Protein backbone atom coordinates (compact mmCIF):
# COMPACT_ATOMS: atom_id res chain seq x y z
CA UNK A 1 0.00 0.00 0.00
CA UNK A 2 1.19 3.48 -0.86
CA UNK A 3 1.41 5.53 2.36
CA UNK A 4 1.37 9.14 1.24
CA UNK A 5 0.26 11.48 -1.52
CA UNK A 6 2.14 11.89 -4.80
CA UNK A 7 1.71 15.52 -5.86
CA UNK A 8 3.28 17.88 -8.39
CA UNK A 9 3.66 15.22 -11.09
CA UNK A 10 6.23 16.23 -13.75
CA UNK A 11 6.66 19.67 -12.16
CA UNK A 12 10.45 19.71 -12.03
CA UNK A 13 11.79 22.60 -9.89
CA UNK A 14 8.37 23.24 -8.30
CA UNK A 15 9.10 24.61 -4.78
CA UNK A 16 8.36 22.37 -1.79
CA UNK A 17 7.49 23.93 1.59
CA UNK A 18 7.28 22.69 5.19
CA UNK A 19 3.68 21.81 6.10
CA UNK A 20 4.17 23.06 9.66
CA UNK A 21 6.81 24.33 12.07
CA UNK A 22 9.13 21.63 13.35
CA UNK A 23 12.60 20.13 13.67
CA UNK A 24 14.36 18.53 10.70
CA UNK A 25 15.19 14.97 11.76
CA UNK A 26 16.41 13.71 8.38
CA UNK A 27 17.88 15.58 5.42
CA UNK A 28 19.75 13.14 3.25
CA UNK A 29 20.63 12.57 -0.39
CA UNK A 30 21.26 9.37 -2.35
CA UNK A 31 24.74 7.95 -2.73
CA UNK A 32 26.15 8.12 -6.28
CA UNK A 33 24.96 5.33 -8.54
CA UNK A 34 27.68 3.06 -9.93
CA UNK A 35 28.13 0.61 -12.76
CA UNK A 36 30.04 -2.64 -12.24
CA UNK A 37 31.94 -2.31 -15.51
CA UNK A 38 32.30 0.41 -18.10
CA UNK A 39 30.72 -1.96 -20.64
CA UNK A 40 27.77 -2.78 -18.39
CA UNK A 41 24.61 -1.67 -20.20
CA UNK A 42 22.39 -2.20 -17.19
CA UNK A 43 21.00 1.02 -15.70
CA UNK A 44 22.85 2.01 -12.53
CA UNK A 45 21.05 1.21 -9.29
CA UNK A 46 20.53 3.71 -6.52
CA UNK A 47 22.82 2.61 -3.69
CA UNK A 48 21.43 5.13 -1.19
CA UNK A 49 17.90 6.04 -0.08
CA UNK A 50 15.17 4.93 -2.53
CA UNK A 51 13.57 8.36 -2.09
CA UNK A 52 16.51 10.18 -3.67
CA UNK A 53 16.85 13.50 -1.84
CA UNK A 54 14.63 13.19 1.22
CA UNK A 55 13.57 15.29 4.24
CA UNK A 56 11.60 14.35 7.39
CA UNK A 57 10.35 16.95 9.89
CA UNK A 58 9.03 16.28 13.39
CA UNK A 59 6.14 18.41 14.70
CA UNK A 60 4.51 18.78 18.13
CA UNK A 61 0.90 19.43 19.10
CA UNK A 62 0.05 21.54 22.19
CA UNK A 63 -0.97 18.31 24.02
CA UNK A 64 2.59 16.94 23.57
CA UNK A 65 1.63 14.42 20.89
CA UNK A 66 3.81 14.30 17.78
CA UNK A 67 3.60 13.69 14.07
CA UNK A 68 6.21 13.64 11.32
CA UNK A 69 5.94 14.90 7.75
CA UNK A 70 8.10 13.42 4.98
CA UNK A 71 9.12 14.86 1.61
CA UNK A 72 10.65 12.54 -0.98
CA UNK A 73 12.16 12.84 -4.47
CA UNK A 74 13.50 16.38 -4.07
CA UNK A 75 16.31 17.94 -6.06
CA UNK A 76 19.90 17.98 -4.80
CA UNK A 77 19.72 21.55 -3.46
CA UNK A 78 18.08 20.68 -0.15
CA UNK A 79 17.81 23.92 1.84
CA UNK A 80 17.68 22.48 5.37
CA UNK A 81 19.94 20.23 7.40
CA UNK A 82 19.36 17.67 10.11
CA UNK A 83 18.71 19.54 13.36
CA UNK A 84 17.43 22.76 11.74
CA UNK A 85 14.30 24.38 13.16
CA UNK A 86 11.91 25.33 10.35
CA UNK A 87 8.78 27.47 10.14
CA UNK A 88 5.50 26.56 8.48
CA UNK A 89 5.78 27.46 4.82
CA UNK A 90 9.59 27.56 4.81
CA UNK A 91 11.06 26.35 1.53
CA UNK A 92 12.76 22.96 1.82
CA UNK A 93 13.82 22.43 -1.77
CA UNK A 94 12.30 21.67 -5.17
CA UNK A 95 10.90 18.67 -6.99
CA UNK A 96 13.82 16.79 -8.54
CA UNK A 97 14.27 15.65 -12.11
CA UNK A 98 14.13 11.97 -13.05
CA UNK A 99 17.62 10.80 -12.21
CA UNK A 100 18.80 7.95 -9.98
CA UNK A 101 21.29 10.32 -8.35
CA UNK A 102 18.68 13.02 -7.70
CA UNK A 103 15.15 11.73 -7.06
CA UNK A 104 15.81 7.99 -6.95
CA UNK A 105 14.99 7.50 -10.64
CA UNK A 106 11.25 8.16 -10.38
CA UNK A 107 9.21 10.41 -12.64
CA UNK A 108 9.32 13.94 -11.17
CA UNK A 109 6.93 14.33 -8.23
CA UNK A 110 6.81 14.95 -4.49
CA UNK A 111 6.00 12.07 -2.16
CA UNK A 112 4.32 13.74 0.82
CA UNK A 113 3.48 11.65 3.88
CA UNK A 114 2.23 12.17 7.44
CA UNK A 115 3.02 9.71 10.21
CA UNK A 116 2.02 9.70 13.87
CA UNK A 117 4.84 9.64 16.40
CA UNK A 118 8.39 10.87 16.88
CA UNK A 119 11.63 10.11 15.11
CA UNK A 120 14.30 8.06 16.86
CA UNK A 121 16.62 10.16 19.01
CA UNK A 122 19.80 9.34 20.92
CA UNK A 123 18.72 7.18 23.85
CA UNK A 124 15.87 5.53 21.91
CA UNK A 125 15.65 1.75 21.69
CA UNK A 126 15.81 0.76 18.02
CA UNK A 127 14.93 -2.88 18.61
CA UNK A 128 15.47 -5.68 21.13
CA UNK A 129 17.75 -8.71 20.98
CA UNK A 130 17.65 -12.07 22.72
CA UNK A 131 20.76 -12.98 24.73
CA UNK A 132 20.71 -16.36 26.47
CA UNK A 133 16.94 -16.24 26.77
CA UNK A 134 16.78 -12.69 28.11
CA UNK A 135 15.97 -9.52 26.17
CA UNK A 136 17.95 -6.30 25.98
CA UNK A 137 17.52 -3.03 24.04
CA UNK A 138 19.71 -1.90 21.14
CA UNK A 139 20.17 1.79 21.95
CA UNK A 140 20.77 4.60 19.47
CA UNK A 141 23.69 6.64 20.87
CA UNK A 142 24.44 9.17 18.12
CA UNK A 143 22.81 10.28 14.85
CA UNK A 144 24.84 11.83 12.06
CA UNK A 145 24.04 12.38 8.38
CA UNK A 146 26.20 9.50 7.11
CA UNK A 147 26.72 7.15 10.07
CA UNK A 148 25.03 6.55 13.41
CA UNK A 149 26.23 4.78 16.55
CA UNK A 150 24.34 1.97 18.32
CA UNK A 151 25.04 -0.04 21.46
CA UNK A 152 23.53 -3.18 22.94
CA UNK A 153 22.79 -2.34 26.57
CA UNK A 154 23.24 -5.55 28.60
CA UNK A 155 22.59 -3.67 31.85
CA UNK A 156 18.86 -3.26 31.14
CA UNK A 157 16.89 -6.46 30.85
CA UNK A 158 13.40 -5.67 29.54
CA UNK A 159 10.01 -7.29 29.21
CA UNK A 160 9.30 -7.69 25.52
CA UNK A 161 6.54 -5.30 24.36
CA UNK A 162 3.51 -7.03 22.86
CA UNK A 163 3.83 -7.59 19.12
CA UNK A 164 7.59 -6.95 18.96
CA UNK A 165 9.53 -9.50 16.93
CA UNK A 166 12.77 -10.45 18.69
CA UNK A 167 15.81 -11.48 16.59
CA UNK A 168 17.23 -14.75 17.92
CA UNK A 169 20.38 -16.80 17.45
CA UNK A 170 22.64 -14.33 19.27
CA UNK A 171 24.74 -15.56 22.19
CA UNK A 172 26.29 -13.43 24.94
CA UNK A 173 29.73 -13.30 23.33
CA UNK A 174 28.33 -12.01 20.05
CA UNK A 175 25.89 -9.66 21.73
CA UNK A 176 28.43 -7.73 23.79
CA UNK A 177 29.24 -5.54 20.80
CA UNK A 178 29.92 -2.22 22.52
CA UNK A 179 29.57 0.84 20.28
CA UNK A 180 29.13 0.12 16.58
CA UNK A 181 28.59 2.31 13.53
CA UNK A 182 25.77 1.82 11.05
CA UNK A 183 24.69 3.74 7.92
CA UNK A 184 22.18 6.42 8.89
CA UNK A 185 20.13 5.72 5.77
CA UNK A 186 19.36 2.26 7.14
CA UNK A 187 18.07 3.83 10.35
CA UNK A 188 15.07 5.37 8.61
CA UNK A 189 13.89 2.26 6.77
CA UNK A 190 14.60 -0.49 9.30
CA UNK A 191 11.71 -2.10 11.17
CA UNK A 192 11.73 -1.19 14.85
CA UNK A 193 9.24 -0.41 17.63
CA UNK A 194 9.46 3.41 17.55
CA UNK A 195 9.57 4.51 13.95
CA UNK A 196 10.28 3.50 10.38
CA UNK A 197 9.93 5.41 7.13
CA UNK A 198 8.68 3.87 3.93
CA UNK A 199 6.71 4.87 0.86
CA UNK A 200 5.03 1.46 0.65
CA UNK A 201 4.11 -0.83 3.56
CA UNK A 202 1.87 -3.82 4.23
CA UNK A 203 -0.40 -1.71 6.47
CA UNK A 204 -1.46 1.92 6.79
CA UNK A 205 -1.01 2.28 10.55
CA UNK A 206 0.33 4.67 11.78
CA UNK A 207 0.43 6.55 8.45
CA UNK A 208 -2.35 9.07 7.85
CA UNK A 209 -4.06 10.43 4.75
CA UNK A 210 -2.05 13.68 4.58
CA UNK A 211 -4.43 16.19 3.01
CA UNK A 212 -7.47 15.51 5.26
CA UNK A 213 -5.10 15.48 8.25
CA UNK A 214 -3.79 18.95 7.45
CA UNK A 215 -7.28 20.33 6.88
CA UNK A 216 -8.57 18.77 10.11
CA UNK A 217 -5.80 20.36 12.18
CA UNK A 218 -5.92 23.81 10.64
CA UNK A 219 -2.72 23.76 8.60
CA UNK A 220 -4.35 26.11 6.09
CA UNK A 221 -5.11 28.71 8.79
CA UNK A 222 -2.90 31.56 9.98
CA UNK A 223 -1.49 30.73 12.39
CA UNK A 224 -1.68 26.94 12.21
CA UNK A 225 -2.19 25.05 15.47
CA UNK A 226 1.16 23.28 15.27
CA UNK A 227 4.20 23.94 17.42
CA UNK A 228 7.82 23.10 16.70
CA UNK A 229 9.12 20.01 18.47
CA UNK A 230 11.38 20.51 21.46
CA UNK A 231 15.01 19.77 20.63
CA UNK A 232 17.41 17.87 22.83
CA UNK A 233 20.99 19.26 22.87
CA UNK A 234 22.29 16.11 21.20
CA UNK A 235 20.09 16.64 18.13
CA UNK A 236 20.33 20.42 17.91
CA UNK A 237 24.05 20.31 17.13
CA UNK A 238 23.94 17.68 14.38
CA UNK A 239 26.75 17.76 11.85
CA UNK A 240 26.16 19.34 8.45
CA UNK A 241 24.59 17.01 5.92
CA UNK A 242 26.50 15.85 2.89
CA UNK A 243 24.76 15.77 -0.44
5-119+195-236: CATH topology is Glucose Permease (Domain IIA) (2.70.70)
Query: Cis link prior to 214 (omega < 30° from 0)?
Result: no
Model pLDDT for residues 112-165, shown as the tens digit of each residue: 999 988 887 788 877 777 777 778 888 888 877 678 888 888 888 877 656 655
**Alpha carbon distances (Å) from 61 to 40, 82, 118:** 51, 21, 12
Model pLDDT for residues 13-52, shown as the tens digit of each residue: 999 999 989 999 888 887 655 444 444 444 444 344 678 8
Closest CA to 168 of 124, 135, 126: 135
Whole-number Å distance between alpha carbons of 197 and 200: 9
pTM (2 d.p.): 0.70
Please say whether the beta carbons of 92 and 77 come within 8 A: no
**Alpha carbon distances (Å) from 95 to 16, 49, 54, 76, 115:** 7, 16, 11, 9, 21
Closest CA to 59 of 115, 111, 99, 9: 115
Identify the sign of the CA torsion 152, 82, 50, 197. Answer: positive
Model pLDDT for residues 129-144, shown as the tens digit of each residue: 777 777 888 888 887 7
Domain boundaries, the chain: 5-119+195-236, 125-187
Q: Reduced to 3 states, what is the DSSP secondary structure of residue 185?
A: helix
Please say whether the beta carbons of 125 and 217 come within 8 A: no
Amino acid sequence: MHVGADVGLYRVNEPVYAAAAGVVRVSIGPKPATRRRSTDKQAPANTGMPWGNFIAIEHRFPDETYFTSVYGHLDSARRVRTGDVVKAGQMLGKIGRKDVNVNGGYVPHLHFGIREGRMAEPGSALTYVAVNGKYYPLILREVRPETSTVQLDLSKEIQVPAGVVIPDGIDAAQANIGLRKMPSGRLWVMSRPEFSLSGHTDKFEPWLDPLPFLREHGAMTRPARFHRARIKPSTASSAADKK
